[in-house]
Amino acid sequence: MTTSPPPLAPPLRGARAVVFDTDGVLLDSAGLHAAAWKAAFDPCLAAAGQPPFDPEAEYRRWVDGRSRLDGAAALPAARGLRLPLGDPADGPGSGSVHALAAAKEAAFVRGLAERDVPALLGAPRLLRALGDAGVACAAVSASRHARELLRRAGLLEWFAVVVDGTEAARLGLPGKPDPALFLEAAARLGVPPAECVAVEDAVAGVEAARRGGFKAVVGVDRASGGSDTGAQEGALRTHGAGVVVSGPAELLDAAERRRT
């Protein structure tokens, strides 16, 4: 008697576990994060006489996949602005890195109150297929909201492990492109990185998974089909993605994808 292969695309076949980033990979939340960063950065940039924050190119280059504090430091530095680190108690503003981070958090929370963050096309079916195939799943994210967003999107039940920004802060884990988040997730699953696939949309996250020695790194190019088609795919491949897809539906085999 022959057994039908699981309805998974080749990049996931043979993996014992899959570690997913959340924003822009499973959840349609990247736009909300980018808008929150724009609300935080634009007053700071305007005060310095600089153009507004680009919520596409600059978001992907400087803040996507990074912790809130790392992102708040990276963009001003890239623009040649010197901001003091400030204090964790700083309220929302633009006078310090901590103040920018607080402004981004406040804007993101306001955005969450105004709109839902749904699962991306194919994500529920992909997670179900992995579960049916006996492949363990973990979620990693620099966001402290990841667990709640996965719950609200109906995806949390599929994850044996979630290592989010709250856990990273508690454990003192460095942010991406350091591989610590991915390695912590793999360790909690009890699966060596060499037997895990990582799925990421951020350049920093792809680099983190590559540095962590994962079996395969799948990049998700949310810009596929847009004005800069090819640029993001190239960046993902340069930093370690062996395969690049446009979304979770492409990680199902062709027959299963048609049902998504």
pLDDT digits (tens, 9 = 90+) for 206-223: 999 999 999 999 999 977
Residues 97 and 23 in one domain: no
Same domain as 69, residue 124:
no
The whole-number pLDDT of residue 225 equals 53
pLDDT tens for 160-183 read: 999 999 999 999 999 999 999 999
Is residue 106 located within the same domain as residue 162? no
Whether 144 and 107 share a structural domain: no
Please report which confidence band the pLDDT of residue 257 belongs to, taking 50, 70 and 90 as the band edges.
low
Flag whether 3 is in a domain. no
At residue 1, the pLDDT reads 42
**102 & 168 share domain:** no
pLDDT score, position 229: 56
- Give the end of a domain, one of 70, 99, 114: 114
In a domain, 1, yes or no: no
Residue 62 lies in a domain: yes
The residue among 62, 91, 114 that closes a domain is 114
Q: Is the predicted pLDDT of residue 128 greater than 60, yes or no?
A: yes
Task: Check which CATH number belongs to the domain holding 245 and give it.
Answer: 3.40.50.1000
What's the CA gap between 248 and 168, in Å, rounded? 25
- Read off the pLDDT band of 65 (50, 70, 90): confident
Q: Domain range for residue 245?
A: 10-28+118-259
**Model confidence pLDDT, tens digit, residues 97-115:** 999 999 999 999 999 999 8
Same domain (yes/no): 102, 49: yes
Q: What is the band of 230 on the pLDDT scale with cuts at 50, 70, 90?
A: confident
How many separate domains does the chain show?
A: 2
Tens-digit pLDDT profile for residues 132-145: 999 999 999 999 99
* 20 and 75 inside one domain: no
Mean pLDDT of the region 46-51: 96
Same domain, 35 and 78: yes
The residues annotated as belonging to the active site are 21, 23
* Assigned domain for 129 exists: yes
224 vs 131: which has the higher pLDDT: 131
pLDDT at 224 over 70: no
Same domain, 143 and 89: no
Do residue 126 and residue 214 come from a single domain?
yes
Question: Do the domain assignments include residue 87?
Answer: yes
User: How does pLDDT run across 71-88, given as a tens digit for each residue?
Assistant: 999 999 999 999 999 999
Domain boundary among 66, 94, 114: 114
Is residue 260's pLDDT more than 80? no
Does residue 4 belong to any structural domain of this protein? no
| Average pLDDT for 146-151 | 95
- Same domain? For 238 and 221 the reply is yes
5 domain-assigned: no
Question: Average pLDDT in the 35-40 region?
Answer: 97
In a domain, 2, yes or no: no
Model confidence at 6, pLDDT cuts 50, 70, 90, reads: low
pLDDT at 2: 44
Whether 17 and 104 map to the same domain: the answer is no
